[in-house]
Structure 1
Amino acid sequence: MCRRDEAGLFFAPSKEPTAARLSREEAAKRVCARCPVMVECREHALLQPEPYGVWGGLTAAERRVVLARRRRRDMELKKAARPANQIAAAG
């Protein structure tokens, strides 16, 4: 879907006023919401990571939050698994 829309909808022009940016991002997110590959697009942007634009219905700032949460979750899972591994190695 976004291939048919203007790239300007998904990427900010320089010095864009905040109100205009928020409006443009919401319009881009509405396009994303209708997209059959939104999840794949989002994962691409998270794996790259894409530093600009709306990808998979998320802004760059929203993607940073998702990535930070994933890192925290991964660290917590590693910490939780560590004692079990140490006990198994000792036994």
Structure 2
Amino acid sequence: MTSMRVYTDSNITPEPWMAYGACLETGGEIFFPAVGDVETAERARAICDGCDVRNQCLTYALERREKYGIWGSTNERQRRRILKGQP
């Protein structure tokens, strides 16, 4: 099983499904790109797109109103739209 160390340095509450995230293979920094760093955000989304726990990740971010980072292949703006029921 992969270590969950990526999640212990922040306010993220470790969940069992996180042990299966594709993000664990990359570190974690890529999922928190600088504002305007579209290239890094796209690389992060590509990793999410192939992840087995992508839906759980997105649900986690939506429930906690995560304001930063790529979660379940979405950024904060996309998550706000989902929460508002917009396409």
| Distance (Å, rounded) in 2 between the aligned partners of 1:12 and 1:34 | 19
Aligned-pair Cα RMSD in Å: 1.4
| Distance (Å, rounded) in 1 between the aligned partners of 2:33 and 2:40 | 8
1:12 equivalent among 25, 33, 57: 33
Which residue of structure 2 lines up, in the alignment, with residue 3 of structure 1? 24
Tell me the CA shift for residue 7 of structure 1: 1.4
Tell me the CA shift for residue 12 of structure 1: 2.4
Number of residue-to-residue matches in the alignment: 65
| Distance (Å, rounded) in 1 between the aligned partners of 2:59 and 2:79 | 10
| Distance (Å, rounded) in 1 between the aligned partners of 2:73 and 2:38 | 13
Question: Identity, % of aligned pairs?
Answer: 29
Give me the TM-score of the superposition, normalised by structure 2.
0.68
The DSSP-based 3-state class of the residue aligned with 1:63 is helix
- Structure 1 segments of 4+ aligned residues over 4 angstroms from their partners: none
Tell me the CA shift for residue 6 of structure 1: 2.7
Which residue of structure 2 lines up, in the alignment, with residue 40 of structure 1? 56
The DSSP-based 3-state class of the residue aligned with 1:65 is helix
Structure 1 unaligned runs (5+)? 71-91
| Distance (Å, rounded) in 2 between the aligned partners of 1:10 and 1:40 | 16
Find the structure with the greater CA-based Rg: 1
Give CA-to-partner distance per residue, 1:41-86, whole Å, 9 cap, x none.
000000111110000000011111111117xxxxxxxxxxxxxxxx
Which has the larger share of helix? 1
Give me the TM-score of the superposition, normalised by structure 1.
0.66
Which residue of structure 1 lines up, in the alignment, with residue 9 of structure 2? none
1:27 equivalent among 34, 38, 43: 43
Structure 2 unaligned runs (5+)? 1-21
